[in-house]
Structure 1
Amino acid sequence: MSQPAAKPWTPEEFLAWEERQPLRYEFDGFQPVAMTGGTAAHSAIQGNLAAALVPRLRAGRCRFFNSDFKIETTEPHYRYPDGSIVCRSVAPTDTRAADPVTLFEVLSPSTADEDRYTKALEYQAIPSVQRYVMLEQNAIRATVLERSGESWTVHLLMQGSILRLPEAGIEVPLDELYEGIDFGAPRHQEPTTEAP
């Protein structure tokens, strides 16, 4: 006997439920999706992103938010990008924004397809978004989707490139987002035990 299909959650049901959870969840328009942990490189890139953007934005009207701050897409879905820039006043008690100008994701092998396609389409549908930056975590590289009128332009950045964010009035050397990461370091391996 087959199980009945699960009933999709409403955005209101998700928000009320998530408020009571100790962990973070995204909402894909159907159900909650648990947020998982990342690698050392992923964490370092996120930290470098905040360290690079916060001081540069301090004198202006835009603010950087890390992955603890929710973004509401037009569906509505709720996402926790690795970083976002919002260029308006945000109340201290706000938990989400629907009008970011820039969004960042650090690509992981397990989420890269979703970040490149599913989230890219969701982020592009937000009218305020001018730029979506996808940062690789295994090399100094980024794919930048830039709004260009009604269409989008793709920019590929490599080591030595400058990440330009005119919507926020700043520029950042891409290399700065990868400081302290040794891509040649050996991967950690669990110790093995040999039988006597």
Structure 2
Amino acid sequence: MNALDVEPWTVERFFAWQEDQEERFELVDGVPLMLAGASQRHDMIAVNVIARLSQGLHGKTGRTFTGHHAVRTGPGRIRRPTVGVDCGRPDPNDYLASAPAVIFEVLSRSTRSDDQLRKLEEYQAIPSLRHLVFVDTLDAVATHWHRPAEGEWKRVAIQGPLGAIELDAIAVTLLMEDVYEGVTFD
């Protein structure tokens, strides 16, 4: 059988199949792609972001989610951002964020180009998304894309431990020193 003869998967087929898999996958153009593991530095940053977002959202309507949850970025496309905030209606049986407002991608050496180019474009097409943050693992640097309720995407580079990531759509500010807490660079 030729690979070109394979019918692209639907989102429903993907999630039915994913239930029986131990690894995490994304659906890209109807094809499941396995996600790689993460370095300790990547994981430390992700845990720091999850902890700070969860604290900041306490008593609010948004819910933090991890890379085990997914966002639909287009037809036949399911992505699993490192961390996100869903401000939509909760459904404990769903695998998709219903209204993702914030997405964090912690960059890995192997995925940084794809994350900042292809995924950037896909994520920015999500109508509910207001903040997209790429957090570097090689240095204390974050790139924050934000879109006002009425307006175009704007890019802000945040460098060093004294900076802050202002997530006005969910009324949470993350300090860079908290994002990189316990993280050392070679």
TM > 0.5: yes
Task: Structure 2: state its 5+ residue gaps.
Answer: none
Q: Deviations over 1:142-163 (max 9, x none)?
A: 0111114452111000111111
Q: How many residues were matched structurally?
A: 183
For structure 1, the residue ranges without an aligned partner over 5 or more in a row are 185-196
How far off its partner does 1:4 sit? 5.4
Distance (whole Å) between structure 1 residues aligned to residue 181 and residue 42 of structure 2: 12
Contact 1:106 1:135 in 2 (8 A): yes
The Cα of 1:3 is off from its aligned counterpart by 4.0
Distance 2:93 2:3 in 1: 39
Q: Contact conserved, 1:133 with 1:145, CA < 8 A, in 2?
A: yes
Contact 2:70 / 2:80 at 8 angstroms: preserved in 1? yes
- 2:152 corresponds in structure 1 to 151
Is the counterpart of residue 167 in structure 1 residue 169 in structure 2? yes
Query: Is the Cα contact below 8 Å between 1:26 and 1:78 reproduced in 2?
Result: yes
Q: Distance between the aligned counterparts of 2:56 and 2:36, measured in 1?
A: 30
Amino acid at match of 2:153: W
Superposed, which structure 2 residues align to 1:170-185 within 5 Å?
170-184=172-186
Are the counterparts in 1 of residues 89 and 98 from structure 2 also a CA contact under 8 Å? no
Question: Letter of the aligned partner of 1:154 in structure 2?
Answer: R
Identical residues among aligned pairs (%): 30
Mapped contact 1:26–1:35 kept (Cα < 8 A): yes
Larger radius of gyration: 1
Matches within 5 A, 1:6-155: 6-7=5-6, 8-148=8-148, 149-155=150-156
Q: Give distance in 2, aligned partners of 1:30 and 1:128.
A: 23
What RMSD in Å do the two structures reach over aligned CA positions?
1.7
Aligned partner of 1:187 in structure 2 is none
Q: Indicate if the aligned counterparts of 2:85 and 2:101 stay in contact, CA closer than 8 A.
A: yes
**AA in 2 matched with 1:166:** D
- 2:4 aligned counterpart, secondary structure: coil
1:81-134 superposed Cα distances (whole Å, 9 cap, x missing partner)? 000111134122222114200101001111011100111111100100011100
Given that 2:88 and 2:98 are in contact with CA atoms closer than 8 Å, whether structure 1 keeps it comes out as no
Distance in 1 separating the partners of 2:94 and 2:13: 18
